[in-house]
Amino acid sequence: MSIQRALEMAAIPSVLITTDKEQSYMGRPSRTLHPKGFKIGHSVGKPGQKELHKKVIKDALNLLIHPIEPGKILEREYPEYFEGTADKRE
């Protein structure tokens, strides 16, 4: 049993932010945000991208207020993640 599932069973809502949509889908989390193109280790953005960190966390917390269907994963694009780098969207 995942930590998220245990929390949900104890009536404590939780949100998962994932960079690996396929792996997370197998766990059927209740609320999940997938920032498209983010690399492992950059769940909320790259180091130093403070405004992006806040934006991703705010979007994740919004899933507590405006839930999506359980098991669905909300994909969101954040173009600022790629600004100023040679990274390409995957």
Model pTM? Answer: 0.84
Closest CA to 64 of 28, 18, 16, 31: 31
Is 37 a residue whose pLDDT tops 50?
yes
Is 85 a residue whose pLDDT tops 70?
no
Q: Is pLDDT larger for residue 31 or for residue 3?
A: 31
Enter the tokens of residue 80.
């600022």
The runs of H, that is alpha helices, within the chain are 3-9, 21-26, 50-65
User: Please, what is the average pLDDT of the chain?
Assistant: 89
d(CA 48, CA 52): 9
Q: What is the pLDDT of residue 29?
A: 84
- What φ, ψ does residue 81 adopt, rounded to 5°? -60, -35
Mean pLDDT of 53-79: 94
Mean pLDDT of 62-81: 92
Enter the tokens of residue 30.
């209740």
Q: What is the pLDDT of residue 4?
A: 80
Query: Where in the chain are the domains?
Result: 3-79
